[in-house]
Structure 1
C-alpha cells in the first residue's frame, strides 16, 4: 500500500484519485499528527468491502454461501473423480 504526505496529496489530489481508482489500491495519507492519518480508496472498492463485511456479519447469509460453496466443491471433486475413472 502506497503512502503520501498530506501536503503532497493536496497538491496532486486529482492524480491520486485517478491512481487509487485505476489500481484498486488504497492510499495512506500521512500527517504530522499520526491520529490524523487517513486511508483513501475508490468508491467501488469501498462498496465491495462494505458488502463483504455485511455478508460476514449476517450468519444466515454467510452459512448459506458456505454451504453452497461446499456443494460446488463436492460436485467438482465428484466430477474430477469420475473423469479419473475413465
Structure 2
C-alpha cells in the first residue's frame, strides 16, 4: 500500500493513477486533520464489491468454504472440455 500527500498527488496525478491501475496498488492520500482518502482501481473496487456480496450471504459463504475444504483434501476431479460446433 502506498501513501502520498494531497499536494504530491495533485502534482503527479497521472503517475499515481497509472501506478494504482497498472500495479494493482492501493493508495492512501493523506490530508489535514486525518481526513484521508483511499484510491484503488475500478477493477480492484469491483472485485472487492463482488467478494463482499458473496461473503455476505451465509449460504454462499458456507458453500465456498466446503468447496475449499474438499479441494484441500484432494476431493476433486478434472474433466476435459468438449467443444461443440455452434453451426449445429
State the TM bucket, normalised to the shorter chain.
0.7 to 0.9
Residue 40 of structure 1, CA deviation: 0.4
CA distance in 2, matches of 1:72, 1:3: 38
CA distance in 2, matches of 1:40, 1:70: 34
- The structure whose residues are more often helix, as a share, is 1
2:39 matched residue in structure 1: 40
Aligned residues between the structures: 76
Q: Which runs of 4+ in 1 moved over 6 A?
A: none
Q: 1:25 aligns to what SS in structure 2?
A: coil
Q: 2:17 aligns to what SS in structure 1?
A: helix
Q: Which runs of 5+ in 1 are unaligned?
A: 78-86
Task: Answer with 52-61 or 65-74: which moved more.
Answer: 65-74
Q: Which runs of 5+ in 2 are unaligned?
A: 76-88
